[in-house]
Amino acid sequence: MFTVDIYIGSIKASLEKQSDLLVRNLKSISEYNFSTDIDLLDFSAFIEPTRFEISITMFTMDKEANEVFYEGNDATVFAGSEEILPEVEYYQLNDNQLDDFFEFYEQNEEILVPQEQKVFTEWFSQCWQEAGGTSLNLPSYFVFQDDYKSYDLKNNQWIDDEEKRS
């Protein structure tokens, strides 16, 4: 039998096991020499719900929502994208439970999706803080792929994507 609380608790426990890796990877970017053409950093979460996997990629962006690349000769300058967290499993399920789980999920989707997003966001934000991410001089956001809102990691609040570009 599946319940919302047990499912969300399992996600939290699975993500916690990946915290050290995420913090280590976030710490490494604090030493980057970011291109001066970069206006902000987007940490995009890619969720694969049928495999229960999440990955996170950092994108360097300009105010027009374009990814910034560096084409100069200085090898110390960074711009572009980088995987911050490889695909990791955030929930485990036996194959014989899939049909029951997806039926449960469909019946509770309106409750589950916001709670999943909250768990992913709080976990990333906590790791970001632990890694010293607030010391970066670039505005930084946590976003879900193809979503219209972003979580401002310095101000700890959700904003519309248009706000971060103004």
Q: Which domain holds residue 17?
A: 4-164
Cα(143)–Cα(146) distance, integer angstroms: 8
Burial class (CB in 10 A: 0-12, 13-18, 19+), 42: buried
Burial class (CB in 10 A: 0-12, 13-18, 19+), 107: exposed
How many domains does the chain fold into?
1
Helix (H, G, I), strand (E, B) or coil at 144: strand
Per residue in 108-163, pLDDT (tens digit) is 999 999 999 999 999 999 999 999 999 999 999 999 998 889 999 999 999 998 88
Q: Which two tokens stand for residue 58?
A: 């950092």
Q: What is the pLDDT of residue 45?
A: 98
